[in-house]
Structure 1
Amino acid sequence: MAIIENGYLRGQIGNLVNRKVGNKNVVQTKPSDKLKQTQWTQNAATDFGTASAAGAVIRRAFRSLHLDMHDSGMHNRLQQHMQRVLRGYGKRYSGMLNVSDGNIQRLVDFQFNEKCHIHDYLYCDPQVTFESNGTTSISLPSLNAQRNFHIPKNCSHIILKIETVGFNFGFRHFETIGSHEIELPIYSQQGEGIDPQTLVHDVNNTKYNSIVVSLAILYITKYGNHTSLLNSKDLNPVGIIATYNPL
């Protein structure tokens, strides 16, 4: 509302502000609180949303591995990694970037728990091969608990868990293609180890636009019929070891 006072208009009408300056009546436009987004900022916001949604799908897909025992910054770190995936082959089409056209290899070595890098707890490197016929092969060397693993206090058994998951990020869909657990007793093994083996997962490449393989180490203590999991937010090595975009 505006009023006339001593011949001068004072107050606001719509987005116009009237005030007296000396012996003049000044009319100004009220500044808007809304910032107009440029096309660049709109595109950046769209790509950020794409990366964030993809990260959320990956977190859900591998929950059986990380068990929600991760550092507080895991969500943000994964979202940043997904942004790097989207930009893997440039940003020419900013605002329309998607995971299937990005460089999914940039996800390899992502650690779900920053406090526990998988390479500090597993002393060998599984070899993953993605075949054109849709087969995913994971080759493991001979494994011995005392030779190939970090062993925490009170641990009697180690479980090496590997999962292969197919993703269709456009539909925010995932499916576990293969899951394997290998249990290794610590103190009953002498110098011998489990023989080398290859895990084979058959993948329908036309169904997924990304394949991700992750690995986790579970620490178990057994007393008679009682079994306890020793993993915690401070001891939970889980990482992505291989990725592939079949399309």
Structure 2
Amino acid sequence: MARQTGPVTFTGKLGNLIGYEVDGVHLLRSMPAHVERSYATKRSALDFGTASKGGRLLRNALSGELEIPDDGKLVNRINKVLQAIVKADAHHFPGQRRILTRHLPALTGFNLNSTTKLDQLLTFQPVLTKDKDGNICVSVNPAFKKTKGTTHLEIKAIVTGIDFAKAKYTAAVSESKLIDVRALPEKVAFVLPYAEKETAFVVLQVIPFQMVNGELALLEDVKHLAADIIGVLLPDKTLSVEVHYKPATRSASPLRKQPRSSKKKPPPLE
């Protein structure tokens, strides 16, 4: 190793050099020409790659509908859950493990905003059902936990179908409703058309607005934004009875890097 003595020091990789710091001293070493990895390490890397590809597929499937700013943590957080799902595959050897459909319900309750969970804004239990046409119905009791400045809530239900084995997803569909928190309805219902054969991921998103001079303005504080995966419905899942969502204790992280524009026209007021 060598000491960095110039006016500018660095840590990390630069060409074939690696800079690092030990006890306040900046040091330098060259990268090894070849790194020996054990067989177990190589197999773990392959399984990690499977989880990472699955995480990217899930993010891409939802990114067109989610309106939560990204704090840079979502990739790692989703990958962590999917790594556990990959590891749960007992039918394949390490390095060949897959994301099996039966294990996907482990994503239920995943918080897409690491700052705020859905149950921090609403006191409710969303209920999922399917009608005779196969549509996914989401029923919400919008009991609201007061946050400073909020006069209206946009509640949005989203569904997308994902086939991890074929690495494909269907375009997400959604329905939004604007609720005046000063006159909350007893129930808010959404009907999401879904006739696909892939596993369905159902997300509920809540975004606050404030009435200012007769116009609605978006409150972009991430503490007031929330989105959870409230249901993972397997292809052969028939909702003959109601499924009640219970908020998870895990934290989550945003999807989209760009904040939602405050100029967006909200949906019609309920």
Q: TM-score, normalised by structure 2?
A: 0.65
Within a 5 Å distance, the mapping from 1:111-122 to structure 2 comes to 111-122=111-122
- In the alignment, which residue of structure 1 is the partner of 2:226? 237
1:66 CA drift (Å): 4.3
1:135 is aligned to 2:138: no
Q: Which 10-residue stretch deviates more, 71-80 or 94-103?
A: 94-103
Taking structure 1 as reference, are residues 134 and 74 closer, same or farther at Cα in structure 2, changes over 3 Å only?
A: farther
Residues 160 and 170, structure 2, Cα contact 8 Å, conserved in 1: yes
Taking structure 1 as reference, are residues 65 and 196 closer, same or farther at Cα in structure 2, changes over 3 Å only?
A: closer
Measure the CA separation in 2 of the matches of 1:169 and 1:104. Answer: 10
Report SS of the residue matched to 1:69. coil
Taking structure 1 as reference, are residues 34 and 41 closer, same or farther at Cα in structure 2, changes over 3 Å only?
A: same
Residues 165 and 174, structure 1, Cα contact 8 Å, conserved in 2: yes
Residues 163 and 176, structure 1, Cα contact 8 Å, conserved in 2: no
Residues 84 and 106, structure 1, Cα contact 8 Å, conserved in 2: no
- In the alignment, which residue of structure 1 is the partner of 2:195? 203
Report SS of the residue matched to 2:55. helix
- In the alignment, which residue of structure 2 is the partner of 1:176? 171
The residue identity in structure 2 corresponding to 1:45 is A
The residue identity in structure 2 corresponding to 1:157 is H
Residues 71 and 115, structure 1, Cα contact 8 Å, conserved in 2: no
1:81 is aligned to 2:73: no
1:72 CA drift (Å): 3.4
Within a 5 Å distance, the mapping from 1:84-99 to structure 2 comes to 84-90=84-90, 92-99=92-99
Larger Rg: 1
| Percent of residue pairs bearing the same amino acid type | 18
Report SS of the residue matched to 1:163. strand
Kindly indicate whether structure 1 or structure 2 has the higher relative contact order, using CA contacts under 8 Å at least 6 residues apart: 2
Q: Higher strand share goes to which structure?
A: 1
Taking structure 1 as reference, are residues 244 and 94 closer, same or farther at Cα in structure 2, changes over 3 Å only?
A: farther
Measure the CA separation in 2 of the matches of 1:155 and 1:108. Answer: 28
Measure the CA separation in 2 of the matches of 1:216 and 1:239. Answer: 7
The Cα offsets for residues 74-99 of structure 1, whole Å up to 9 and x where unpaired, read as 22111001112223343643222222
Residues 155 and 205, structure 2, Cα contact 8 Å, conserved in 1: yes
Measure the CA separation in 2 of the matches of 1:175 and 1:85. Answer: 22
1:240 CA drift (Å): 0.7
Give structure 1 regions of 4+ aligned residues with deviation exceeding 6 angstroms.
none
1:158 is aligned to 2:153: yes
Query: What is the aligned residue count?
Result: 205
Residues 70 and 233, structure 1, Cα contact 8 Å, conserved in 2: no
Measure the CA separation in 2 of the matches of 1:196 and 1:238. Answer: 16
Superposition RMSD in Å: 2.8
Report SS of the residue matched to 1:204. coil
The residue identity in structure 1 corresponding to 2:147 is P
1:241 CA drift (Å): 0.7
